[in-house]
Amino acid sequence: MPSSSPDTRSELEALQRDPEVVVPIARGVLFRTGGLFKRWEKGWYSISPLGTLVCSDGDDMRDGKQVLDLIVNANAVESKQMKGAALMHAFQVKAANGDARVLYCEDEVCRDHWVLTVNEAVRRAGGGRPMQLADRYTMDYSAKLGNGLFAVVLRGTDRKSGSSVAIKAIKPERFREHHSLIMREVSTWSAVGAHPRIVRLLGSFQSASRMYFACASSRRPACTLRAVGIASVLLHGCCKGAAWVLHGWCCMGVARASCAC
């Protein structure tokens, strides 16, 4: 088991004693059908903390346009087959004025995290109890899978499915120093989607002091996800391009990405 510095141990003890309030983060590529011929259209979407759905042509959400405001709920709906492609998993987002939008993900994990993020934003805006990471995952603070300058990786269990997960917790000082880079990692890792050579991102959660990445457990827990960061930097923050490059690297066997620090 990786050794921990005194600072890391005291930090983990504090987290275990007083768990942080977190906000699920969903941002990345989603699909919809539109136009006279119901063509598949792709866009970059995000949910604001106040429950507004935003869409942009690129991955810079600051240039996005508001799609739905005052959202009241989100729920999974019937999946749909994209012509000549895999099954697309759908969810519907409804606004207070009755408007609704059906959006599609390439897998169920992505869809479920979007539904969670939307409904948590609605609950938070309505004065509901703040979410903690422990509401979604049982954390084993004694089972450190990795510990580095940037993050510590812990073992956890999904309360809903019972499956084992790895939780990558970015250290507060790194989160402050590299906030924009970490937000690009959220978008890039989400945009990569399911790939046999890349550990699957299950969800991203932000607290006041750090970012948490929940991902599928890997047989190689000491490996790093440096490939995501390198691709993001090389593409100057273009998450769509970084995801495409990362896919290419993995297909050629240049990178084998996993979760760690």
Residues 87-123: tens digit of each pLDDT: 899 999 999 999 999 999 888 888 999 999 999 988 8
CA separation for the pair 222, 201 (Å, rounded): 16
pLDDT score for 177:
92
CA separation for the pair 145, 8 (Å, rounded): 13
pLDDT score for 44:
85
Would you state the structure tokens that stand for residue 139, as one six-digit string?
């954390």
pLDDT score for 132:
92
Order of strands across the sheet with 23-25? 23-25, 201-206, 211-216, 164-170, 151-158, 137-147
pLDDT digits (tens, 9 = 90+) for 61-79: 566 788 898 899 999 999 9
Count of alpha carbons within 13 angstroms of residue 163, beta-carbon side: 11
Count of alpha carbons within 13 angstroms of residue 221, beta-carbon side: 20
pLDDT score for 211:
93
pLDDT score for 116:
92
CA separation for the pair 150, 54 (Å, rounded): 30
DSSP bridge partners of 137: 158
pLDDT score for 242:
45
**142 contacts: CB under 8 Å, gap ≥ 6:** none
DSSP string, 90-114: EEEEEETTS-EEEEEESSHHHHHHH
CA separation for the pair 201, 73 (Å, rounded): 24
With 0-12 CB in 10 A as exposed, 13-18 as middle and 19+ as buried, what is 211?
A: buried
Would you state the structure tokens that stand for residue 205, as one six-digit string?
């959660």
pLDDT score for 231:
42
Average pLDDT over residues 226-246: 45
CA separation for the pair 257, 223 (Å, rounded): 7
Does residue 258 surpass a pLDDT of 90?
A: no
pTM of the model: 0.78
- The pLDDT-based confidence of 27 (bands split at 50, 70, 90) is confident
Distances (CA, A) of 190 to 28, 29, 213, 226, 243: 6, 8, 11, 15, 9
Handedness of CA 131, 136, 140, 144 (dihedral sign): negative
**35 contacts: CB under 8 Å, gap ≥ 6:** 41
